[in-house]
Amino acid sequence: MDGGLSARVAPLYADALGVMKMFSLRAKTWWLVLNAVLALSLAVAFYWTLQNYVAEQSASAEQRRDAQMIWLLVYSRDIEAGQQVAIEDFQQRKFPPDYVTDDWLLPQDVSVVVGSHTQQFVAAGEPVSLAHLGTLQPTSFSDVLAPGEFAVTATVSIEQLHHGLVEVGNFVTLVGQDFRSEQSRLTAIPNVEVLALDSFTDVGWQEGLASTLTFRFSAEQAYQFEQLRQSQFSIWLQRSEHFADLWLDSPNPIIYLMEREGG
């Protein structure tokens, strides 16, 4: 009896044991697969984290290098020896500070070298050096004046500045009282160019409100203005040089002011 039972149970036990081994093998396989997937996910995450870190560090280093770079004046084209250079022959480019030498020119030096002649062949992209160019003529503010012209500076108020709207290069009409005759009258000097606001001679460089204006005058206009500045002269801003042509028929126009009674 016992032998028969054992004979019947033994195959069942063997089957159960086989099933357990099979499930154990599958569990191990799934465990290995899960571990492999987890390890791969961690590796990918670490890789992208490392890539982002390297990219951020590279960008930061590039920004630091860019902040230290220096703008220099370079030639925009190949130029043979003996040719005169113009403004379009130059452009600006950044260079590492370690490469910069003392004789390389900055972009703001371009006005000094325009019009000079090259002493040797220069290639496009090459930094501009004084050694490349002939003797430079010194420049000053008075070079903007033609023969017979004068630059005259006057202290001005906010109202005369049109609260900062007057800019270098504008044309204005100066109006004031002329005290040379027994009966004072208003007179005007039309089409006067503004050469500078304080010490600034370029448009857009003025910061804040200027306290002085420098005008371009002929000798006659300069003398006339010295009479006007004895009074509180007004500055009329013109649209263009042609706006005040109507004044030219009368060198000394008379302007009448009408006041209301009781005003």
For residue 183, the number of C-alpha atoms closer than 13 Å in the C-beta half-sphere is 2
* Better pLDDT: 29 or 79: 79
Task: Tell me what the pLDDT averaged over the chain comes to.
Answer: 78
Give pLDDT, residue 246. Answer: 43
DSSP H or E segment with residue 26 = helix 2-68
Global confidence as pTM: 0.44
CA distance 67 to 65: 5
Contacts of 231 (CB under 8 A, 6+ apart): 176, 177, 179
- Give residue 58's pLDDT band: very low, low, confident or very high (50, 70, 90): confident
Check pLDDT > 60 for residue 85: yes
CB-side exposure of 157: number of CA atoms within 13 Å? 7
pLDDT given for residue 73 in this prediction: 92
Instruction: Classify 177 as helix, strand or coil.
Output: strand
The one-letter amino acid at 255 = I
> What's 70-132's CATH class?
alpha beta
| pLDDT over threshold 70, residue 252 | no
Domain edges within the chain: 1-67, 70-132, 142-247
Closest by CA to 170, choosing from 221, 208, 204, 209, is: 204
Residue 248 pLDDT exceeds 50: no
Q: Take residue 141 and report the two structure tokens written for it.
A: 């503010």
